Copies of this chain bind each other. A is one copy, B any other.
Amino acid sequence: MKAGPDISRIAALVGDPARCNMLTALMTGRALTASELAQEAGITPQTASSHLAKLEAGGLIEPEKQGRHRYYRLSDPDVADVLEGLQGIAARAGHMRVRTGPKDPALRRARICYDHLAGDLGVQMLDSMKRQKLVRQSKQAIELTGEGKRFMAEELQIDADALTHPRRPVCKACLDWSERRHHLAGTLGAAMMDRFTELKWAARDAAPGSRVVNFSRNGEKRFAALFGAGE
């Protein structure tokens, strides 16, 4: 009757709260050990082991063995994108996980989405880039313009031509769950976030497992100069 690779299989994997906690923990882009993931999900190591095996079989995560540890990471940035999309739907339906803590505003302002910038500032950045014609967006596809390449080289010392990747687009629109608008993903999005970190404009929050990105005072000023809301 209906054959084919079920998307229900994949969705069911995400549908379990314990596994879901593991996956969201991995949305930081960092690889975590089985034990850490077990603690993150609030379950015993045995149960976690079973879940991790299923997630791996489903192609959502990939293990990397290191000594007696097994590090797990999301198998693909696309996985993070889909998870972020699900968060958008969940947020709209009003299904927030717990009471909105004090970290919530910071999370909405700037956070890591796997390896690129998300939140208010992330959306602002893509908006500004479109206004400045650094990128062209037609439907879902985003393309870096010639002017955009120059901008990246001059302002951020990023060689756009070096960003091509066999399996990953340079530019990609990623739906932001808190803003419900797109921010920039892809290798360019990742490279820009890397540069912000290198320049000490921004830094990942020290707390383990946190997705919050803190901008320094100087970093915020420089960021606004390039991607300010007004221009």
Using a CB–CB cutoff of 8 Å, the interface residues on chain A facing chain B are 1-17, 19-21, 23-24, 42, 58-60, 76, 78-79, 81-83, 85-98, 100-101, 103-104, 107, 175, 177, 180
Contact = CB atoms under 8 A, between A and B. Distances in A.
27 contacts: A1-B101, A2-B24, A2-B98, A3-B98, A4-B95, A4-B97, A4-B107, A4-B177, A5-B88, A5-B91, A5-B96, A5-B97, A7-B20, A7-B23, A7-B83, A7-B87, A7-B89, A8-B15, A8-B19, A9-B95, A10-B93, A12-B14, A76-B89, A76-B92, A78-B88, A78-B89, A82-B85
B12 A87 contact: no
A104 to B, nearest CB: 5
Given A59-B92, A89-B78, A6 B17 contact: yes
